[in-house]
Chains A and B, each alone.
Chain A
Amino acid sequence: MPVLSLNDLVAIGLCVLALLALGMNLLVHRKHPYLGLRKTSAVRSSEILSQAAAEQGKRLTIGLGLDVADSVTAMASLPMLAALTRRSIFTDQPVHATSGGGTLASLSQSVVRGTYQGAVAPELFKPDYALLAGLSPYAYLAGLLPQAASRANAGIMLYGPHRPESLLAADLAERKRNPVIALTSDLSAQAVLLASSAQLSFGEDYFDGGASLQVNPSAAASLRAQDLLRIVITIGLIAGAVLRLLGVWQ
C-alpha cells in the first residue's frame, strides 16, 4: 500500500463525499427528481429554439466540439444531443450534429441512431445527422462553418469543448440572423463567446444539460451533489485562508 500525501487524502475524501452526495440525492429525490431544480438559461433557450425550429420547418445544428481524447467533458453533450434529437425525429428537419474527432463522431452517431431506434423509427435515421467535421481543431472549424451558415438552420448550438476560434462560427450564424447558444468547457472560449450575442452559460452550468432537460434523474442528483460540494469546498477554502492568516496552519 503506497504512502498517501495530504493532497491524495483530500482528493479521496472529496471523491467519497461526491459519491455519498450523489447516492443520497438519488435516494431522497427518487420520486420527484426534478422538483425545485434550477434550469440553466442556455438549456432553456435550447428547448425554445428546438420548438421554434420545428415550427419553422428548419433544423437545429449542434457543434459537439473537439474529441473525447482531448477532453472527457465532451461526453456531457451527448445526453443533450439525445434529448434534442428525440424531440425532432418527426419534424421536417431533424437535429444535425457535427463533431471534431473520430471517437466523438462515432459516439454521437451511436447516440442518434439509438434515439431513432428508441422512438421505433429507425427507417428515418440518416448517417448525415451526426457527422465528423474534421480531425484537428482547425479542420473541425472549417467543417463547422458551412454548417453554421446553412439556410436550413433555425439556430446553432455549440455544446462541447470548443476553442476560442469557434467565435467565427457564432459570428457567421449571427450574420445569417440565426440565434446561437453556447455551452463550452473551455474557459478561453467562454470569455471569447461573451463578446458575441450567443446565449451563454458559464463554468459548471456546462454539465447541467441532462438535468435541465429532465432526461436523466441521475443528472439531477449530480447537479444537487455539485451544489453541496461547492458549499463544502467554499467553506474549506475560507477556513484554510483564515487558519493561514491566524498562523495556525503554515
Chain B
Amino acid sequence: MKKAIPILIAVLSGLLVLAALIWQPQLEGWLEVMLNWAVIIASMAALVALATLLLAHTRKIIKVRHGFIYSLILVVAFLVSFAGGMTAGVENPNYLHWIAAIQQPAEASLLGLAALVMAAASLRLFHQRGWSALTVSFGISALVFLMLGLGWLQALQIPQLDIVIGYLEALPLVGMRGLLIGMGLGALLLGFRIVLGLERPYGE
C-alpha cells in the first residue's frame, strides 16, 4: 500500500495532464489546481534539498573535515543572504542589487573561463580523439560556420553564393531536428512508462 499510493498519484496526475491537452476547456480548472499543487510540492522539495545541504556542510564544519573552510563560507553566505531577504524582503531593490553585485561577476567570470576552456578543448580535439569522420566533420563545420559568422562572404553580395550560404545555414537546423526527433521519442516513451507506473524515478 505504501508503494502503491505514489504510483497511483503519479499515474492519475499524468493521465489528467494528457487528458487536459485534448479536452482543454473542460479540464482547464482542474489542471490549474494541479499545477499549483506541483509548484508548492516543488518548492517544498527545494527547501528539503537546501536543508539537507546545510546539514551536510554543518556536519563537515563540526567534524573539521578536509575543506571545511569552504563549507563555512557556504553556510555563512547562506545565513547572511537569508537574513537579508527576511529583514529587507526579497523584492527590496537594495537587496536585489546586493545579490546581483555578487552573483553577476561570479557568473561572468565562470562564463569567460568556460569560453577559454572551450577554445582550448577545440584545439586539442584531434590530439584527443584522433582523425575520424566525426572529428574531421566537426573541424570543417566549425571553420565553415566561423567564416559564415564573420559575414565576409555575405558582404560580397553574389546571389548564387547567397543561395549556397542559405543552404549551409539550414544544415545545422536539419541535423538538430533529427536529433530532437530521437530525443522527443525517448522523452515520450519515458513519460508513458512513468504514467503507466512501469518506471518509478521517485524511489524504489
Contacts and interface: CB of A to CB of B under 8 A. Distances in A.
Contact of A69 (B42, B47, B52): B42
Contacts of A127: 52, 55-56
A195 interface: yes
Interface stretch (B82-90, B160-168, B177-185): B177-185
Given A117-B204, A146-B70, A194-B134, A2 B182 contact: no
Interface residues of B toward A: which range? 35 or more
Contacts of B107: 138
Interface residues of A toward B: which range? 35 or more
Nearest to A117: B204
B92 interface: no
B136 interface: no
A187 B182 CA distance: 12
B53 interface: yes
Majority secondary structure, B binding face: helix
Contacts of A243: none
B28 to A, nearest CB: 12
Given A15-B192, A107-B201, 7 more contacts: A22-B192, A73-B183, A127-B55, A165-B111, A192-B118, A195-B125, A196-B121
Interface of B: 22-25, 42-43, 45-50, 52-53, 55-56, 67, 70, 103, 106-107, 110-111, 113-114, 117-118, 121-122, 124-125, 128-129, 134, 138, 176, 178-183, 185-194, 198-199, 201-204
13 contacts: A22-B189, A75-B201, A82-B204, A102-B49, A105-B45, A128-B56, A131-B49, A138-B107, A171-B117, A187-B180, A190-B179, A195-B118, A195-B125
